[in-house]
Amino acid sequence: MTEEIADPSHPRYQSLMMRKKVSDAGAKGMLAESAMIAHGRGEAFDYLLSEQTIDSAFAATKEVAARLVKAKKPVLSLNGNAIALAAREFLLIASQLGCPIEINIFYRTPQRMGALLAHLKLLNTNLDLDVEILGGVPDARIPGLEGPRAACQQKGIFEADTILVPLEDGDRCEALIAMGKEVLVIDLNPLSRSARTGTVAVVDEVTRVAKNLVQLIPQKPEITDWNNDQALQDALNHIVKTMSKKFE
């Protein structure tokens, strides 16, 4: 039986709609089996952040926009969950930057790659955009990683100087940093290895970040002397402050 979605006045409407997006993408064969669990982990952190873009996350998003605009060869590396939740916004961002999107998934199967490529290509056409979608024909490997998750494309991730990686796994984030790249992370968990390893980590929900980037990129913000540890500490402080208020 299909689960009914509450009406828009429901206090958890946005959250329920996001779950539906993940569940629909799963039914189309786009996602890993553990995708909903990963989403649930994100939801838990989002609850602790009061489901909002906190000030330090907005500053981090602005920094990401600045670094993407300044990059010589940027690429957006998208996994299943990021495509399920914010494919439209990421296509708009890639189009603004004139850069490719590379589908790069942790649990790589030909079926999933086919479903994700078809989804992005159809949306690209429907939005009347001309974004290059890579990932289907891997011809390079990320050094230091074993198995299919090392697979990438030469003219995409391999040669990029700056990579946006929403929901990246810690090993791959470290491997990309070891290749000398600027790695721009989106992850609701401020304690994750990716958030701590990335050049800039945005501790915010991927859909909100993508929408903010669409607004910020045309403004061409300036790069700052970014302190990632300070931004992660701000997110943790926010969580502690919000939680202690609940018990006052």
Q: How far is the CB of 106 from ligand PTJ (least distance, A)?
A: 3
Q: How far is the CB of 86 from ligand PTJ (least distance, A)?
A: 8
Closest residue to ligand PTJ, judged by C-beta, is: 42
The secondary structure of 164-180 as a DSSP string is EEET--HHHHHHHHHTT
Q: Which residue has tokens 């607004």? A: 215
Pick the closest to residue 85 from 46, 142, 59 (CA basis).
Answer: 46
Q: How far is the CB of 102 from ligand PTJ (least distance, A)?
A: 12
| Alpha-carbon span 37 to 105, nearest angstrom | 16
Kindly state the helix (H) or strand (E) to which residue 151 belongs, with its residue range. strand 151-152
The CA distances from residue 162 to 74, 97, 104, 183, in Å, are: 5, 12, 15, 6
Q: How far is the CB of 194 from ligand PTJ (least distance, A)?
A: 7
Taking the least distance from each CB to ligand PTJ, the nearer of 47 and 223 is 47
Taking the least distance from each CB to ligand PTJ, the nearer of 71 and 201 is 201
**63 in Cβ contact with 224 (< 8 Å):** yes
Q: How far is the CB of 79 from ligand PTJ (least distance, A)?
A: 3
| Alpha-carbon span 119 to 105, nearest angstrom | 15
SS3 141: strand
Q: How far is the CB of 3 from ligand PTJ (least distance, A)?
A: 19
Taking the least distance from each CB to ligand PTJ, the nearer of 70 and 117 is 117
Start-to-end CA span in the chain (Å): 42
| Interface with ligand PTJ (CB under 6 A) | 32, 34-35, 38-39, 41-42, 45, 79-81, 85, 105-107, 167, 169, 186-189, 192, 205-206
Taking the least distance from each CB to ligand PTJ, the nearer of 70 and 123 is 123
Taking the least distance from each CB to ligand PTJ, the nearer of 32 and 92 is 32
Taking the least distance from each CB to ligand PTJ, the nearer of 58 and 107 is 107
